[in-house]
Amino acid sequence: MSDIYSEILLDHYRLPRNKGKLFQETISVEGKNPLCGDEIVLHLKLDGERVSEVAFEGSGCAISMASASMLTEDLKGRTLSEVESRIDQFRHFIREGAEPEGESLNDMISLSGVAKLPVRVKCATLAWTTMEEALRQVAKK
Amino acid sequence: MLERDVRRDFPILNIKVNGKPLVYLDSAASSQKPNDVLQSYCRFCESRYANVHRGIHTLGEAATGDYEAARRTVAEFINAPELEGVIFTRGTTESINLVARSFGHKFIKHGQSIVLTPMEHHANLVPWQLVAKAVGAELRFIPLKEDGTLDISEARKLIDHTTALVSVTHVSNVLGTINPVGELVQLAHKVGAKILVDGAQSVPHMPVSLRELNPDFYAFSGHKMLGPTGIGVLYGRPEILADMDPFLTGGEMIREVYLDHATWNELPYKFEAGTPAIAEAIGLAEAVRYLTSIGMERIAQLDHLLTSQALNKLSREPDTKVYGPRTQHGAVVSFNVKGIHPHDLAGLLDREGIAIRAGHHCCQPLMRWLDVQATARASFYLYNVPEDVDALIEGLKVARKVLA
Ligand SMILES: Cc1ncc(COP(=O)(O)O)c(C=O)c1O
């Protein structure tokens, strides 16, 4: 088994990026894994079609928290449609365990071992499904 | 320790997990299987297998004989008062659902109460929620005291003339609490209520005598007591079973069938619709023989020794909170380490070859009572040794270092 508790993952867990609230966020969306008790809130600030800032709050296992931290780093500055395709790319990656073609997944590569741990897939994808929900809510506005 | 090295009987204990020898501390979820059980299953399928209660041929007779012998073995093991009260099911969950469907919907009436506890496994909670909703009954919960034991003085008040059924776990799969089932049986019977006991965590670990306990229903699973999955037991008092409607219908449970109606087979077959888990029942009987050869008293002592060691050592670890009572404790120990999600604890221990359970253990209401999202849980069985407890404690130290 490749070790999921890699240094990169632990670094994001110990020193989460963009953890906290935003000043004047556009939207906040909550996500939960009731089965494991992971909880997160994503805060987004939009500048037109672009995510100008993203932060998260929450508690949960190292995988869910590190993944949220990585998400905030990765998605900041992207347009909504870029975010959407990035979510698809991440999903595919977590399912297959192999890095997809195209743009590098950077630190997220450290989550590749999760593909072999079906129980933990939900932890790794929590922030991303929450982001997807945020996109849905933005579209409705 | 046991006089005999039982570890040699369990082939899986020789495997390595992540390069480390396996330390299996998750028997409360499911136990490992000894050679005898694995072989009995194979032997039966290789030389005596056919469907039961049907074929008038040599194998059909052999299989039927073995299957019914398995029922007798299990009935003796739990000292059941009547053989026809011993029904093979898929496990505890199915056993309880059977009672909820066939007894609950028929005999629990509007305005009556069903008395449970907050420490029930979802399998002994959700079926009663559905019954209560369908018939308009009230769910009542015997409160827990601070140490995770039942408040029996409250139970005396809650179990009253409105009570149709009390349904409680014998041993909590999270807190390890051993409930005073004998007393609860008396309280229930005094007001004319029936009582079901969830024995999923007791039958594998301690001597259980239904003649002494005297419950109306008793449920347990084969896979937690060295047996195969897909087989379990419901004991029911025959006079109650006789008045209950069937649970599943179809083959085997039937006597006469006409185009527009049917009559039911005698007990226990009335509640064994379709082809049962034949080889699994034979495997379960072998598991019972294996447990009996060691002795349930001995197994209870060994569990107690390991559990006490774990409780003591864990409570001395920094930032570690241990749940449940300190005495009268079944073979499970639930705990949390401050700042570490139990899933990470389990994930990091797995790197060391140590298998524990982490999560809500199918007891979400109990997690709320403990005010936690989840707990880590180590559970013990006859193939565990004190070194396993030490490995757990060492593993925790490593985990704390990694995540600190
Ligand atoms: C107390 C208790 N009740 C019921 C069950 C359900 O057993 P099964 O999944 O074998 O039906 C379990 C198993 O986890 C249990 O520990």
Q: B18-32 pLDDT, tens per residue?
A: 999 999 999 999 999
CA B132 to chain CA centroid, nearest Å: 23
For the CA of B90, the nearest atom of ligand 1: 11
Nearest to B152 by CA among B143, B160, B161: B143
> What's the CA gap between B165 and B167, in Å, rounded?
6
CA A119 to chain CA centroid, nearest Å: 17
- pLDDT of B2 strictly over 90: no
The pLDDT, as a whole number, for residue A95 is 87
Residue B119 Cα to ligand 1 middle (Å)? 12
The pLDDT, as a whole number, for residue A126 is 96
Higher pLDDT among residues A103 and B161, named by residue: B161
A6-23 average pLDDT score: 95
Q: Which residues in chain B have Cβ-Cβ distances shorter than 8 Å to A13?
A: 403
The CATH fold assigned to B6-32+295-403 is Aspartate Aminotransferase, domain 1 (3.90.1150)
Taking the model in full, what pTM does it have?
0.94
- Is B363 annotated in the active site? no
CATH of domain B38-293: 3.40.640.10
Q: Report the Cα–Cα distance between both ends of chain B, in Å, rounded.
A: 36
Q: What is the pLDDT of residues B172-198, one digit of tens each?
A: 999 999 999 999 999 999 999 999 999
Q: Which whole-number Å values give the CA distances from B74 to B60, B266, B269, B292, B296, in the listed order? A: 21, 19, 16, 11, 14
Query: Which residue of A lies nearest to B343 if distances are taken between CA atoms?
Result: A61
Instruction: Name the residue ranges covered by the structural domains of chain B.
Output: 6-32+295-403, 38-293
H or E stretch at B357:
strand B357-359
Mean of per-residue pLDDT scores for chain B: 96
This model of the complex carries an ipTM of 0.86
C-alpha triplet B87, B91, B97: angle, nearest 5°: 80
* Same fold? B6-32+295-403, B38-293: no
C-alpha triplet B141, B142, B144: angle, nearest 5°: 115
Ligand 1 pocket, residue B201 CB under 6 Å: yes
Residue of B341, B360, B373 with shortest CB distance to A62: B341
